[in-house]
Amino acid sequence: MKEKVQELAKLPTGIIGFDQIANGGIPMGRSTLLSGTAGSGKTVMALQFLLSGVRDYGENGVFVTFEEAPSDLMQNVRSFGWDLEGLVAAKKIAVVDATPDPGEETVMTGPYDLSALLARIENGIRSVGAKRVILDAIGALFPQLSDSNIVRRELHRIAAGLRALGVTTLVTMERTTEEGAVGRWGVEEFVADNVILLRNRLEQEKRRRTVEILKFRGATHHKGEYPFTIDSEDGVTIIPLSAIELKQRSSEIRISSGVSELDRMCSGGMYRDSIILVSGATGTGKTLMVAQYIKAAILAGERALLFGAEESREQLTRNAASWGVDFEKAERDGLLRIVCRYPEVMGLEDHLLQMKRDIMAFKPKRVAIDSMSAFERVSTPKSFREFVIALTSTIKHLEITGLFTNTTSMLAGGESITETHISTITDTIILLRYVELHGEMRRGLTVLKMRGTSHDKGIREYLIDNQGLHVHQPFRGVHGILTGSPTYVFDDERVRLTELFRREAQVSGGDPAAT
């Protein structure tokens, strides 16, 4: 007796991130519809499923194309470094060309069926021993054959035939809008069991690609849309946000922030696997904090990776030099890598992918991003938050330290969207604020939060000179620095008022509500 299997077996697609949101892959031995608007990445994703089968799982595949001629397709995917021709020559992949010949006339003279196509696909499967099949752009079949009812019926038969052969099939189909019907021509009727939607929306003048598993019959999957990128190195990469595990391993090892007094405020330094957010208005010394944080790494002989989003490499290097930190030498020594990319050059998903690659390649002990808020400019709040979460989880996963800076718009006080968005994700928040005091601008620093340790909660004045940042004594007699409207309470007066209230309380007989 066979035991009843609760969930259908899954076949890993090998598409980065997809198998995570699909709880293992697409249903094995079945057909899955991959639907999306023009340019949403259907063909690339389908081909990746096929190529990964050969490369990573030793499973050969058949590629049935209805729209793009095989030669064009092979040419197009060469930019991904995919040698489809080589795999065809090596009998790893078989191609079935079901594209219409341009200019070819067809005449309909009576009943017909698509048995020939099925026979050709079966022949392809047999010739390479395929386990995976893709039917790319089946919509192109409908205008070729005038009777769409017959086409639908026949596609149904082909799906059944492929199922009988035990292959796992990915069918791509174009849809005309991002919402509404899954595909044109009523195709959902014949591959209704498993549907994946790709979207390519314009959000605030930025293209945002997402993938959503609409349904898997008899199998589980993550719900909702997940952003993905397409690039020449990995093809499709899905960012499985909710599937990211936030492992809080919580190291007890402390590292120096580069400012000794700040380390003392934090009871001995930052935690090794923590995320530090340094937030302040322009000119408060955030980039200087970054420089000192990197200097501390260099002094400890550890590698640091700096992502610059607002300033060029030259500017960063020159500024650091003015504070006595030699970035150029550190780079030569292999202790530092500076990567400068303006946020505007690509989408956040692509930034994330590139940054992850940089981190994996350089293997730093510390990462700094100056500034994180620059990335907020080019994205929607949602994708910005996803970006921060994904980056944070990458850094934490590697048990290294991350320092992000955030530029607040108000000179004194206030909080930015970045703060509200990412403060819950960060472990330590350091605020740098201008303080208007006795008619001059001074600077105040406070450790707003630090997970897992006690810390100095005072607002301390700090000064910047050519040696860097120096933290001094707390501001005395000032309230409301963080709100941006400080009020002064002078010592004498405070004493007088305290005395006054104490006396009043005694007179009224110690009303508990008043204390």
Encoded tokens for 98: 């079901």
In residues, how long is the chain? 515
> Is-cis flag, bond preceding 393, omega within 30?
no
- Number of shown-chain residues binding other proteins (CB under 8 A): 26
Give dist(CA 39, CA 41) in Å, integer: 5
In sequence order, the 6+-apart residues with CB closer than 8 A to the CB of 160 are none
Query: How near is the Cβ of 352 to other proteins at its closest, in Å?
Result: 43
The answer to whether residue 99 forms part of the interface with other proteins (CB under 8 A) is: yes
Report the sign of the C-alpha dihedral through residues 370, 374, 379, 385, in that order. positive
The answer to whether residue 105 forms part of the interface with other proteins (CB under 8 A) is: yes
Query: Residue 119 or residue 246: which is nearer to other proteins going by CB?
Result: 119
- Residues 409, 417: contact at Cβ < 8 Å? no
Q: Which of 115, 312, 409, 420 binds other proteins (CB under 8 A)?
A: 115
Left (φ > 0), alpha (ψ -120 to 50) or beta: where does 514 sit? Answer: alpha
Q: Which of 56, 112, 223, 479 binds other proteins (CB under 8 A)?
A: 112
Give dist(CA 173, CA 38) in Å, integer: 9
The answer to whether residue 111 forms part of the interface with other proteins (CB under 8 A) is: yes
The answer to whether residue 71 forms part of the interface with other proteins (CB under 8 A) is: no
Query: How near is the Cβ of 187 to other proteins at its closest, in Å?
Result: 17
Q: Which of 5, 38, 107, 202 binds other proteins (CB under 8 A)?
A: 107
- The site string for other proteins over 123-142 (x = CB under 8 A, - otherwise) reads x-----------------x-
The answer to whether residue 148 forms part of the interface with other proteins (CB under 8 A) is: no
Query: Residue 97 or residue 415: which is nearer to other proteins going by CB?
Result: 97
The answer to whether residue 23 forms part of the interface with other proteins (CB under 8 A) is: no
The answer to whether residue 492 forms part of the interface with other proteins (CB under 8 A) is: no
What does the H/E/C string look like for 473-490? EECCCEECCCCCCCEECC
Q: Tokens 């190529």 label which residue?
A: 51
Q: Which of 51, 93, 98, 403 binds other proteins (CB under 8 A)?
A: 98
Q: Which stretch binds other proteins (CB under 8 A): 5-13, 77-85, 101-109, 466-474?
A: 101-109
Judged by CB under 8 A, the chain residues 319 through 338 that form the site for other proteins are: none
The answer to whether residue 171 forms part of the interface with other proteins (CB under 8 A) is: no
The answer to whether residue 116 forms part of the interface with other proteins (CB under 8 A) is: yes
- Count CA atoms closer than 13 A to 5's CA, side-chain side: 6
Query: Residue 46 or residue 118: which is nearer to other proteins going by CB?
Result: 118
Query: Residue 1 or residue 107: which is nearer to other proteins going by CB?
Result: 107
Give dist(CA 355, CA 424) in Å, integer: 22
The answer to whether residue 102 forms part of the interface with other proteins (CB under 8 A) is: no
Q: Which of 33, 73, 74, 114 binds other proteins (CB under 8 A)?
A: 114
Strand 366-370 relative to strand 401-407, pairing: parallel
Residue 53 CA, distance from chain mean position:
25
Q: Which of 7, 72, 113, 344 binds other proteins (CB under 8 A)?
A: 113
The answer to whether residue 109 forms part of the interface with other proteins (CB under 8 A) is: yes
The answer to whether residue 164 forms part of the interface with other proteins (CB under 8 A) is: no
Give dist(CA 149, CA 153) in Å, integer: 6
Strand 93-97 relative to strand 61-65, pairing: parallel
Q: Which of 75, 106, 176, 409 binds other proteins (CB under 8 A)?
A: 106
Give dist(CA 354, CA 348) in Å, integer: 10
Query: How near is the Cβ of 151 to other proteins at its closest, in Å?
Result: 10
Q: Which stretch binds other proteins (CB under 8 A): 94-102, 243-251, 296-304, 393-401?
A: 94-102
Helices marked H in 424-510: 491-507
Q: Which of 104, 179, 465, 511 binds other proteins (CB under 8 A)?
A: 104
Q: Which stretch binds other proteins (CB under 8 A): 92-100, 282-290, 379-387, 390-398?
A: 92-100
Query: How near is the Cβ of 38 to other proteins at its closest, in Å?
Result: 23
CA angle 28, 29, 33 (to 5 degrees): 80
- Residues 240, 21: contact at Cβ < 8 Å? yes
Q: Which stretch binds other proteins (CB under 8 A): 73-81, 114-122, 178-186, 483-491?
A: 114-122
The answer to whether residue 110 forms part of the interface with other proteins (CB under 8 A) is: yes
Q: Tokens 């990445």 label which residue?
A: 41
Q: Is 85 helix (H, G, I), strand (E, B) or coil?
A: helix
The answer to whether residue 97 forms part of the interface with other proteins (CB under 8 A) is: yes
Query: Residue 114 or residue 304: which is nearer to other proteins going by CB?
Result: 114
Report the sign of the C-alpha dihedral through residues 265, 267, 272, 274, in that order. negative
The answer to whether residue 85 forms part of the interface with other proteins (CB under 8 A) is: no
What does the H/E/C string look like for 202-260? EECCEEEEEEEEEEECCCCCCCCEEEEEEECCCEEEECCCCCCCCCCCCCCCEECCCCH
Query: Residue 110 or residue 439: which is nearer to other proteins going by CB?
Result: 110
Give the interface with other proteins as residue ranges (CB under 8 A).
Answer: 96-99, 101, 104-117, 119-120, 122-123, 141, 144-145
